[in-house]
A and B are shown apart, each in its own frame.
Chain A
Amino acid sequence: DVKVTQSSRYLVKRTGEKVFLECVQDMDHENMFWYRQDPGLGLRLIYFSYDVKMKEKGDIPEGYSVSREKKERFSLILESASTNQTSMYLCASSLSPRRGRSYNEQFFGPGTRLTVL
């Protein structure tokens, strides 16, 4: 079974703090993703990475950065946390498309519920 783990289930930080959210997957997946999920807004893509040291902006990258130094680990960084970054953060991973298959299932971690005070 694919396993995607996230460093914390619940996190409380203060405005202005630097926040690191860590995600690790154990199935050698090339692609990793960071989403946030808010009531009424659904899942929104923040950043994704399709290879080590590669990153692409998603739909809402402002206020976030990412790091992918190793294939299995993808970190989300909030340089200076703000109250509007209070949310559920979900990490996911997937294999890259192969011949004859345009998409591979994304596997999600359990999520980190971040509260910024």
Chain B
Amino acid sequence: RKEVEQDPGPFNVPEGATVAFNCTYSNSASQSFFWYRQDCRKEPKLLMSVYSSGNEDGRFTAQLNRASQYISLLIRDSKLSDSATYLCVVASEGNNRLAFGKGNQVVVIP
């Protein structure tokens, strides 16, 4: 089983709509969770960390479900500029290494 699994999509989203996707992780000892964003032909960049209590940053909301071992990302009021691949990333306690999912590709359509 892959350490981090994501449905690659693509997720075709009308502009202004809401899109949500999940990622599952296999290591129950995982401690830190993140969403990175990668634009086409660019490097990944941190979008947001995911806390146990969930967190929100503008139109983006991230949730963590430790019992079921998944994290989610929700994008409200989608903009054309949200088109990108969203990478789910997991780290273990004190571990400098990250486990990356293959990404959810989001395409926002006018």
Give the shortest distance, in Å, between A9 (CB) and chain B (any CB).
10
Chain B residues near A90: list those with CB within 8 A.
43-44
Q: State whether the Cβ of A41 lies closer than 8 Å to any Cβ in chain B.
A: yes
Chain B residues near A106: list those with CB within 8 A.
46, 98
Q: A102-B31, A102-B94 are in contact. Are A42 and B101 (CB under 8 A)?
A: yes
Give the shortest distance, in Å, between B98 (CB) and chain A (any CB).
6
A33 to B93, CA, bound (A): 18
Helix, strand, loop or mixed for chain B's interface?
A: loop
Chain A residues near B31: list those with CB within 8 A.
102-103
Chain A residues near B94: list those with CB within 8 A.
97, 102
A45 to B96, CA, bound (A): 12
Q: State whether the Cβ of B13 lies closer than 8 Å to any Cβ in chain A.
A: no
Helix, strand, loop or mixed for chain A's interface?
A: loop
How many chain A residues touch B (Cβ–Cβ < 8 Å)? 21
Chain B residues near A42: list those with CB within 8 A.
87, 100-103
Give the shortest distance, in Å, between A90 (CB) and chain B (any CB).
6
Q: State whether the Cβ of A105 lies closer than 8 Å to any Cβ in chain B.
A: yes
B96 touches A48 (CB 8 A): yes
Chain B residues near A108: list those with CB within 8 A.
43-45
Chain A residues near B102: list those with CB within 8 A.
40-42
A70 to B41, CA, bound (A): 29
19 pairs, CB–CB < 8 Å, chain A vs chain B: A31-B96, A40-B8, A40-B102, A42-B87, A42-B100, A42-B101, A43-B100, A45-B97, A48-B96, A94-B96, A102-B94, A103-B32, A103-B95, A105-B34, A106-B46, A106-B98, A108-B43, A111-B42, A111-B43
* Further 14 A-B residue pairs, CB within 8 A, beyond A43-B44, A48-B96, A58-B97: A40-B102, A43-B100, A45-B97, A97-B94, A102-B31, A102-B32, A102-B93, A102-B94, A103-B31, A103-B32, A103-B96, A105-B34, A106-B46, A110-B43
